Protein backbone atom coordinates (compact mmCIF):
# COMPACT_ATOMS: atom_id res chain seq x y z
CA UNK A 1 0.00 0.00 0.00
CA UNK A 2 1.55 3.35 -1.00
CA UNK A 3 0.60 6.66 0.57
CA UNK A 4 0.64 9.16 -2.28
CA UNK A 5 -0.11 12.05 0.17
CA UNK A 6 -1.14 15.02 -1.94
CA UNK A 7 -1.41 18.19 0.15
CA UNK A 8 -4.07 17.86 2.82
CA UNK A 9 -5.58 14.80 1.11
CA UNK A 10 -4.44 11.31 1.97
CA UNK A 11 -4.21 9.18 -1.16
CA UNK A 12 -3.47 5.47 -1.10
CA UNK A 13 -2.71 3.24 -4.03
CA UNK A 14 -3.04 -0.44 -3.23
CA UNK A 15 -1.66 -2.95 -5.69
CA UNK A 16 -1.54 -6.68 -5.66
CA UNK A 17 -4.77 -8.21 -6.93
CA UNK A 18 -3.45 -10.98 -9.20
CA UNK A 19 -4.18 -10.58 -12.91
CA UNK A 20 -6.32 -13.71 -13.31
CA UNK A 21 -8.66 -12.91 -10.41
CA UNK A 22 -12.40 -13.17 -11.14
CA UNK A 23 -13.97 -9.78 -11.80
CA UNK A 24 -16.43 -9.98 -8.94
CA UNK A 25 -13.81 -11.38 -6.59
CA UNK A 26 -11.41 -8.59 -7.58
CA UNK A 27 -14.12 -6.02 -6.92
CA UNK A 28 -14.83 -7.66 -3.56
CA UNK A 29 -11.13 -7.43 -2.70
CA UNK A 30 -11.14 -3.80 -3.76
CA UNK A 31 -14.11 -3.04 -1.48
CA UNK A 32 -12.40 -4.75 1.43
CA UNK A 33 -9.10 -3.00 0.83
CA UNK A 34 -10.87 0.34 0.58
CA UNK A 35 -12.64 -0.36 3.89
CA UNK A 36 -9.32 -1.32 5.49
CA UNK A 37 -7.60 1.80 4.18
CA UNK A 38 -10.47 4.01 5.41
CA UNK A 39 -10.31 2.43 8.83
CA UNK A 40 -6.53 2.84 8.88
CA UNK A 41 -6.70 6.48 7.86
CA UNK A 42 -9.58 7.12 10.31
CA UNK A 43 -7.11 6.50 13.09
CA UNK A 44 -4.93 9.31 11.78
CA UNK A 45 -7.67 11.95 11.91
CA UNK A 46 -10.42 13.18 9.62
CA UNK A 47 -8.39 13.97 6.48
CA UNK A 48 -10.09 13.47 3.11
CA UNK A 49 -9.09 10.12 1.62
CA UNK A 50 -8.72 8.82 -1.92
CA UNK A 51 -8.12 5.12 -2.38
CA UNK A 52 -7.20 3.47 -5.66
CA UNK A 53 -7.02 -0.30 -5.78
CA UNK A 54 -5.54 -1.91 -8.84
CA UNK A 55 -3.62 -4.83 -10.19
CA UNK A 56 -1.36 -2.48 -12.11
CA UNK A 57 2.25 -2.09 -11.01
CA UNK A 58 3.07 1.03 -8.97
CA UNK A 59 3.20 4.07 -11.21
CA UNK A 60 0.63 2.70 -13.62
CA UNK A 61 -2.07 2.74 -10.95
CA UNK A 62 -3.90 5.78 -12.23
CA UNK A 63 -3.19 5.45 -15.92
CA UNK A 64 -6.80 4.80 -16.91
CA UNK A 65 -8.97 1.80 -17.68
CA UNK A 66 -7.55 -1.66 -17.28
CA UNK A 67 -6.56 -3.26 -20.52
CA UNK A 68 -8.89 -5.98 -21.69
CA UNK A 69 -12.60 -6.37 -22.13
CA UNK A 70 -15.13 -4.70 -19.87
CA UNK A 71 -18.33 -6.24 -18.61
CA UNK A 72 -20.28 -4.45 -21.30
CA UNK A 73 -18.07 -5.38 -24.20
CA UNK A 74 -18.46 -9.06 -23.42
CA UNK A 75 -22.03 -9.00 -22.24
CA UNK A 76 -23.60 -9.62 -25.62
CA UNK A 77 -25.44 -12.88 -25.74
CA UNK A 78 -24.10 -15.48 -28.12
CA UNK A 79 -26.54 -17.61 -30.13
CA UNK A 80 -25.88 -20.57 -27.82
CA UNK A 81 -26.36 -18.62 -24.63
CA UNK A 82 -28.40 -20.56 -22.07
CA UNK A 83 -31.75 -19.15 -20.99
CA UNK A 84 -32.39 -18.11 -17.39
CA UNK A 85 -34.34 -21.35 -16.84
CA UNK A 86 -31.42 -23.39 -18.19
CA UNK A 87 -28.94 -21.53 -16.01
CA UNK A 88 -31.24 -22.07 -13.04
CA UNK A 89 -30.70 -25.83 -13.33
CA UNK A 90 -27.14 -25.31 -12.12
CA UNK A 91 -28.47 -24.40 -8.69
CA UNK A 92 -29.81 -27.34 -6.74
CA UNK A 93 -31.55 -27.15 -3.41
CA UNK A 94 -30.34 -29.42 -0.62
CA UNK A 95 -31.98 -30.34 2.69
CA UNK A 96 -30.80 -28.08 5.53
CA UNK A 97 -28.04 -29.60 7.65
CA UNK A 98 -28.63 -27.81 10.97
CA UNK A 99 -31.50 -26.85 13.25
CA UNK A 100 -32.06 -23.97 15.66
CA UNK A 101 -31.15 -26.07 18.70
CA UNK A 102 -27.56 -26.17 17.48
CA UNK A 103 -27.34 -22.40 17.32
CA UNK A 104 -26.21 -20.34 20.33
CA UNK A 105 -26.86 -16.61 20.01
CA UNK A 106 -28.08 -13.82 22.26
CA UNK A 107 -31.87 -13.96 22.71
CA UNK A 108 -32.32 -10.75 20.83
CA UNK A 109 -30.46 -12.06 17.77
CA UNK A 110 -32.45 -15.31 17.81
CA UNK A 111 -35.61 -13.28 18.09
CA UNK A 112 -34.69 -11.26 15.01
CA UNK A 113 -34.17 -14.48 13.05
CA UNK A 114 -37.45 -15.97 14.23
CA UNK A 115 -39.37 -12.82 13.36
CA UNK A 116 -38.19 -13.15 9.75
CA UNK A 117 -39.38 -16.78 9.74
CA UNK A 118 -42.74 -15.71 11.14
CA UNK A 119 -43.28 -13.11 8.42
CA UNK A 120 -42.60 -15.72 5.75
CA UNK A 121 -44.80 -18.32 7.43
CA UNK A 122 -47.71 -15.92 7.85
CA UNK A 123 -47.43 -14.43 4.39
CA UNK A 124 -50.80 -15.76 3.23
CA UNK A 125 -52.63 -14.18 6.19
CA UNK A 126 -50.72 -10.92 6.12
CA UNK A 127 -50.57 -10.25 2.44
CA UNK A 128 -53.62 -12.04 1.04
CA UNK A 129 -56.22 -12.06 3.84
CA UNK A 130 -55.20 -8.81 5.50
CA UNK A 131 -54.68 -7.07 2.17
CA UNK A 132 -51.06 -6.05 2.58
CA UNK A 133 -50.35 -7.15 -0.99
CA UNK A 134 -51.96 -3.89 -1.99
CA UNK A 135 -49.00 -1.99 -0.59
CA UNK A 136 -46.35 -4.70 -1.18
CA UNK A 137 -47.11 -6.74 -4.33
CA UNK A 138 -44.13 -9.09 -3.84
CA UNK A 139 -43.80 -9.87 -0.16
CA UNK A 140 -40.28 -11.19 -0.05
CA UNK A 141 -38.20 -11.37 3.02
CA UNK A 142 -34.47 -10.80 3.03
CA UNK A 143 -32.19 -10.89 6.02
CA UNK A 144 -28.55 -10.11 6.03
CA UNK A 145 -26.41 -11.89 8.61
CA UNK A 146 -23.36 -9.83 9.45
CA UNK A 147 -20.52 -11.09 11.58
CA UNK A 148 -16.95 -12.28 11.85
CA UNK A 149 -15.96 -15.63 10.30
CA UNK A 150 -17.08 -18.67 12.27
CA UNK A 151 -19.83 -16.97 14.28
CA UNK A 152 -22.68 -19.13 12.98
CA UNK A 153 -24.09 -17.37 9.92
CA UNK A 154 -24.10 -20.43 7.66
CA UNK A 155 -25.44 -22.52 10.51
CA UNK A 156 -28.26 -20.00 10.96
CA UNK A 157 -29.14 -20.05 7.26
CA UNK A 158 -29.62 -23.82 7.48
CA UNK A 159 -31.61 -23.48 10.70
CA UNK A 160 -33.92 -20.89 9.10
CA UNK A 161 -34.61 -23.17 6.13
CA UNK A 162 -35.20 -26.09 8.47
CA UNK A 163 -37.67 -24.08 10.54
CA UNK A 164 -39.58 -23.18 7.38
CA UNK A 165 -39.54 -26.80 6.19
CA UNK A 166 -37.79 -25.71 2.99
CA UNK A 167 -34.66 -26.87 1.20
CA UNK A 168 -31.74 -24.47 0.85
CA UNK A 169 -29.86 -23.26 -2.20
CA UNK A 170 -26.44 -22.07 -1.10
CA UNK A 171 -24.44 -19.86 -3.46
CA UNK A 172 -21.47 -17.54 -3.28
CA UNK A 173 -21.32 -14.22 -5.03
CA UNK A 174 -17.98 -15.17 -6.57
CA UNK A 175 -19.59 -18.26 -8.20
CA UNK A 176 -21.98 -16.11 -10.14
CA UNK A 177 -19.49 -14.32 -12.35
CA UNK A 178 -18.41 -16.79 -15.00
CA UNK A 179 -15.40 -16.59 -17.23
CA UNK A 180 -17.62 -14.76 -19.72
CA UNK A 181 -17.70 -11.32 -18.19
CA UNK A 182 -21.08 -9.75 -17.71
CA UNK A 183 -22.85 -13.06 -17.09
CA UNK A 184 -23.08 -12.40 -13.36
CA UNK A 185 -26.44 -10.59 -13.44
CA UNK A 186 -27.97 -13.38 -15.55
CA UNK A 187 -26.65 -16.01 -13.17
CA UNK A 188 -28.03 -14.04 -10.24
CA UNK A 189 -31.45 -13.87 -11.91
CA UNK A 190 -31.19 -17.62 -12.53
CA UNK A 191 -30.37 -18.23 -8.89
CA UNK A 192 -33.55 -16.45 -7.77
CA UNK A 193 -35.47 -18.35 -10.48
CA UNK A 194 -34.12 -21.65 -9.10
CA UNK A 195 -35.17 -20.72 -5.56
CA UNK A 196 -38.67 -19.90 -6.80
CA UNK A 197 -38.98 -23.09 -8.85
CA UNK A 198 -37.70 -25.32 -6.06
CA UNK A 199 -39.52 -23.51 -3.25
CA UNK A 200 -36.16 -23.07 -1.57
CA UNK A 201 -34.61 -20.61 0.82
CA UNK A 202 -31.83 -18.80 -0.99
CA UNK A 203 -28.56 -18.46 0.90
CA UNK A 204 -26.15 -16.01 -0.68
CA UNK A 205 -22.76 -15.83 0.96
CA UNK A 206 -20.23 -13.00 0.42
CA UNK A 207 -23.24 -10.76 -0.13
CA UNK A 208 -21.16 -7.62 0.31
CA UNK A 209 -19.92 -8.26 -3.25
CA UNK A 210 -23.50 -7.75 -4.45
CA UNK A 211 -24.65 -4.94 -2.18
CA UNK A 212 -21.57 -2.78 -1.72
CA UNK A 213 -21.77 0.98 -2.22
CA UNK A 214 -21.78 2.14 -5.78
CA UNK A 215 -18.36 2.71 -7.29
CA UNK A 216 -18.19 6.38 -8.10
CA UNK A 217 -15.83 6.03 -11.01
CA UNK A 218 -16.22 2.92 -13.07
CA UNK A 219 -13.01 2.86 -15.04
CA UNK A 220 -12.54 -0.84 -14.34
CA UNK A 221 -14.58 -3.42 -16.21
CA UNK A 222 -15.01 -5.29 -12.95
CA UNK A 223 -16.63 -2.29 -11.30
CA UNK A 224 -19.14 -2.06 -14.14
CA UNK A 225 -19.81 -5.72 -13.48
CA UNK A 226 -20.38 -5.08 -9.78
CA UNK A 227 -22.70 -2.15 -10.45
CA UNK A 228 -24.70 -4.32 -12.85
CA UNK A 229 -24.87 -7.10 -10.24
CA UNK A 230 -26.13 -4.68 -7.63
CA UNK A 231 -28.91 -3.43 -9.94
CA UNK A 232 -29.93 -7.01 -10.66
CA UNK A 233 -29.87 -7.77 -6.96
CA UNK A 234 -32.25 -4.87 -6.23
CA UNK A 235 -34.63 -5.99 -8.98
CA UNK A 236 -34.50 -9.61 -7.84
CA UNK A 237 -35.15 -8.74 -4.19
CA UNK A 238 -38.10 -6.55 -5.16
CA UNK A 239 -39.84 -9.30 -7.10
CA UNK A 240 -38.90 -12.39 -5.09
CA UNK A 241 -41.44 -13.93 -2.73
CA UNK A 242 -39.36 -16.35 -0.69
CA UNK A 243 -36.84 -15.99 2.10
CA UNK A 244 -33.41 -14.77 1.04
CA UNK A 245 -30.61 -15.10 3.56
CA UNK A 246 -27.52 -13.05 2.84
CA UNK A 247 -24.28 -13.34 4.78
CA UNK A 248 -21.20 -11.20 5.02
CA UNK A 249 -18.17 -10.50 7.19
CA UNK A 250 -18.38 -6.83 6.27
CA UNK A 251 -20.84 -4.51 7.92
CA UNK A 252 -20.12 -1.05 6.72
CA UNK A 253 -20.16 -0.73 2.99
CA UNK A 254 -23.71 -1.40 1.85
CA UNK A 255 -25.47 0.72 -0.67
CA UNK A 256 -28.28 2.57 1.09
CA UNK A 257 -30.74 1.20 -1.50
CA UNK A 258 -30.61 -2.08 0.45
CA UNK A 259 -31.47 -0.55 3.81
CA UNK A 260 -35.21 -0.64 3.30
CA UNK A 261 -35.19 -4.05 1.61
CA UNK A 262 -33.11 -6.11 3.99
CA UNK A 263 -33.24 -6.84 7.72
CA UNK A 264 -29.77 -6.64 9.19
CA UNK A 265 -28.92 -9.08 11.97
CA UNK A 266 -25.51 -8.83 13.59
CA UNK A 267 -23.80 -11.98 14.83
CA UNK A 268 -21.63 -11.14 17.81
CA UNK A 269 -18.50 -13.00 18.83
CA UNK A 270 -19.63 -15.39 21.60
CA UNK A 271 -19.25 -14.19 25.19
CA UNK A 272 -18.45 -16.61 28.00
CA UNK A 273 -22.02 -17.84 28.50
CA UNK A 274 -22.45 -18.36 24.76
CA UNK A 275 -19.13 -20.20 24.55
CA UNK A 276 -20.28 -22.60 27.27
CA UNK A 277 -23.45 -23.29 25.26
CA UNK A 278 -21.43 -23.80 22.07
CA UNK A 279 -18.97 -26.19 23.78
CA UNK A 280 -21.93 -28.15 25.17
CA UNK A 281 -23.47 -28.53 21.71
CA UNK A 282 -20.16 -29.73 20.31
CA UNK A 283 -19.70 -32.67 22.68
CA UNK A 284 -21.88 -35.43 21.16
CA UNK A 285 -23.33 -38.20 23.35
CA UNK A 286 -21.16 -40.84 21.71
CA UNK A 287 -17.88 -39.02 22.32
CA UNK A 288 -16.08 -40.77 25.19
CA UNK A 289 -15.47 -37.96 27.67
CA UNK A 290 -13.58 -38.09 30.95
CA UNK A 291 -15.48 -37.01 34.09
CA UNK A 292 -13.57 -33.75 34.35
CA UNK A 293 -14.86 -32.25 31.07
CA UNK A 294 -16.82 -29.09 31.79
CA UNK A 295 -18.24 -26.75 29.11
CA UNK A 296 -18.25 -23.91 31.68
CA UNK A 297 -14.55 -24.42 32.36
CA UNK A 298 -13.77 -24.56 28.63
CA UNK A 299 -15.73 -21.34 28.13
CA UNK A 300 -13.10 -19.55 30.19
CA UNK A 301 -10.86 -19.59 27.10
CA UNK A 302 -11.78 -16.37 25.36
CA UNK A 303 -11.36 -14.95 21.87
CA UNK A 304 -12.63 -18.10 20.22
CA UNK A 305 -15.49 -18.44 17.78
CA UNK A 306 -17.91 -21.32 17.38
CA UNK A 307 -15.83 -22.57 14.48
CA UNK A 308 -12.70 -22.63 16.69
CA UNK A 309 -14.63 -24.68 19.23
CA UNK A 310 -15.78 -27.18 16.60
CA UNK A 311 -12.20 -27.53 15.35
CA UNK A 312 -10.88 -27.93 18.88
CA UNK A 313 -13.26 -30.79 19.69
CA UNK A 314 -12.38 -32.65 16.48
CA UNK A 315 -8.68 -31.98 16.99
CA UNK A 316 -8.71 -33.16 20.62
CA UNK A 317 -10.68 -36.33 19.78
CA UNK A 318 -8.29 -37.17 16.93
CA UNK A 319 -5.29 -36.64 19.21
CA UNK A 320 -6.74 -38.89 21.93
CA UNK A 321 -7.42 -41.63 19.38
CA UNK A 322 -3.96 -41.25 17.83
CA UNK A 323 -2.26 -41.65 21.19
CA UNK A 324 -4.37 -44.70 22.07
CA UNK A 325 -6.19 -43.22 25.07
CA UNK A 326 -9.80 -44.18 25.85
CA UNK A 327 -11.32 -40.79 26.80
CA UNK A 328 -11.10 -37.11 25.95
CA UNK A 329 -10.12 -35.10 29.02
CA UNK A 330 -10.59 -31.41 29.77
CA UNK A 331 -6.83 -30.95 29.30
CA UNK A 332 -7.06 -32.38 25.75
CA UNK A 333 -9.78 -29.90 24.82
CA UNK A 334 -7.94 -26.99 26.43
CA UNK A 335 -4.69 -27.93 24.67
CA UNK A 336 -6.52 -28.20 21.32
CA UNK A 337 -8.23 -24.83 21.61
CA UNK A 338 -4.96 -23.18 22.63
CA UNK A 339 -3.25 -24.80 19.61
CA UNK A 340 -5.94 -23.33 17.38
CA UNK A 341 -5.56 -19.89 18.92
CA UNK A 342 -1.77 -20.06 18.61
CA UNK A 343 -1.99 -21.15 14.98
CA UNK A 344 -4.11 -18.19 13.95
CA UNK A 345 -2.54 -15.56 11.74
CA UNK A 346 -1.73 -12.44 13.72
CA UNK A 347 -4.74 -10.15 13.49
CA UNK A 348 -7.28 -8.54 15.75
CA UNK A 349 -9.62 -11.03 17.43
CA UNK A 350 -13.33 -10.67 16.70
CA UNK A 351 -14.81 -8.12 19.07
CA UNK A 352 -18.32 -8.51 20.45
CA UNK A 353 -20.65 -6.39 18.36
CA UNK A 354 -23.64 -4.39 19.37
CA UNK A 355 -26.92 -5.63 18.02
CA UNK A 356 -29.13 -3.89 15.50
CA UNK A 357 -32.25 -5.01 13.80
CA UNK A 358 -35.26 -4.30 11.69
CA UNK A 359 -35.29 -2.87 8.22
CA UNK A 360 -33.34 0.39 8.20
N1 LIG B 1 -23.27 -19.20 17.24
C2 LIG B 1 -22.95 -20.50 17.13
N3 LIG B 1 -23.65 -21.44 17.80
C4 LIG B 1 -23.32 -22.75 17.68
N5 LIG B 1 -22.31 -23.21 16.90
C6 LIG B 1 -21.59 -22.32 16.21
C7 LIG B 1 -21.87 -20.92 16.28
N8 LIG B 1 -21.00 -20.27 15.50
C9 LIG B 1 -20.23 -21.20 14.93
N10 LIG B 1 -20.56 -22.44 15.35
C11 LIG B 1 -19.91 -23.69 14.95
O12 LIG B 1 -18.94 -23.37 13.96
C13 LIG B 1 -19.30 -23.92 12.69
C14 LIG B 1 -18.95 -22.96 11.60
O15 LIG B 1 -19.79 -21.80 11.69
P16 LIG B 1 -20.43 -21.11 10.41
O17 LIG B 1 -19.95 -21.81 9.19
O18 LIG B 1 -21.89 -21.02 10.59
O19 LIG B 1 -19.76 -19.68 10.51
P20 LIG B 1 -19.95 -18.43 9.54
O21 LIG B 1 -20.37 -17.28 10.38
O22 LIG B 1 -20.84 -18.82 8.40
O23 LIG B 1 -18.47 -18.18 9.04
P24 LIG B 1 -17.94 -17.56 7.65
O25 LIG B 1 -18.14 -16.07 7.74
O26 LIG B 1 -16.49 -17.93 7.63
O27 LIG B 1 -18.72 -18.19 6.54
C28 LIG B 1 -20.79 -24.24 12.81
O29 LIG B 1 -21.19 -25.27 11.92
C30 LIG B 1 -20.88 -24.66 14.28
O31 LIG B 1 -20.38 -25.98 14.44
MG1 LIG C 1 -20.48 -19.03 6.37
What is the C-alpha radius of gyration for the chain, rounded to an integer number of angstroms?
23
Mean pLDDT, range 212-219, rounded to an integer: 60
Give the model's confidence band at 225: pLDDT under 50 very low, under 70 low, under 90 confident, else very high. confident
Ligand 1 centroid to Cα of residue 126, in Å, is 33
Mean pLDDT, range 154-166, rounded to an integer: 96
Starting at the edge strand found earlier in the chain, the sheet holding 2-3 runs 2-3, 10-15, 49-54
Q: Does 249 sit in the ligand 1 pocket, CB within 6 Å? A: yes
Q: Does 109 sit in the ligand 1 pocket, CB within 6 Å? A: no
Mean pLDDT, range 151-177, rounded to an integer: 94
Mean pLDDT, range 324-346, rounded to an integer: 94
Residue 119 exposed, middle or buried by CB count within 10 Å (0-12, 13-18, 19+): middle
Mean pLDDT lowest among 22-26, 172-176, 192-196: 22-26
The per-residue pLDDT for 136 is 81
Q: Does 150 sit in the ligand 1 pocket, CB within 6 Å? A: yes
Q: What is the spatial distance between Cα 242 and Cα 24, in angstroms, rounded to a whole number?
A: 25
Atom of ligand 1 nearest to the CA of 157: 18
The per-residue pLDDT for 64 is 32
Atom of ligand 1 nearest to the CA of 104: 3
Give the model's confidence band at 228: pLDDT under 50 very low, under 70 low, under 90 confident, else very high. confident
Q: Does 307 sit in the ligand 1 pocket, CB within 6 Å? A: yes
pTM: predicted TM-score of the whole model, two decimal places: 0.76
What domains are defined for the chain?
A: 2-54 (no CATH), 84-267 (3.40.50.300), 272-342 (1.10.8.60)
The per-residue pLDDT for 139 is 79
Amino acid sequence: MRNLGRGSRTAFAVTGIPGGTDDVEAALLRTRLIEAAKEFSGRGGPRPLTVTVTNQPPGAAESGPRAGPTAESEAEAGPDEPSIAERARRFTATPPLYTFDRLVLPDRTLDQLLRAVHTVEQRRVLFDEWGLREIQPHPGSAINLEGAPGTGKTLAAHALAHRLGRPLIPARASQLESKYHGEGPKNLAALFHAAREQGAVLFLDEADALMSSRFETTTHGSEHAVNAMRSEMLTALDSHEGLVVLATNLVTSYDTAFDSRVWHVRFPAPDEAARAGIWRRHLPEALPLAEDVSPEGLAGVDEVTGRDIRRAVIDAAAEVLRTGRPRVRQADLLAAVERIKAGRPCRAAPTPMSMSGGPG
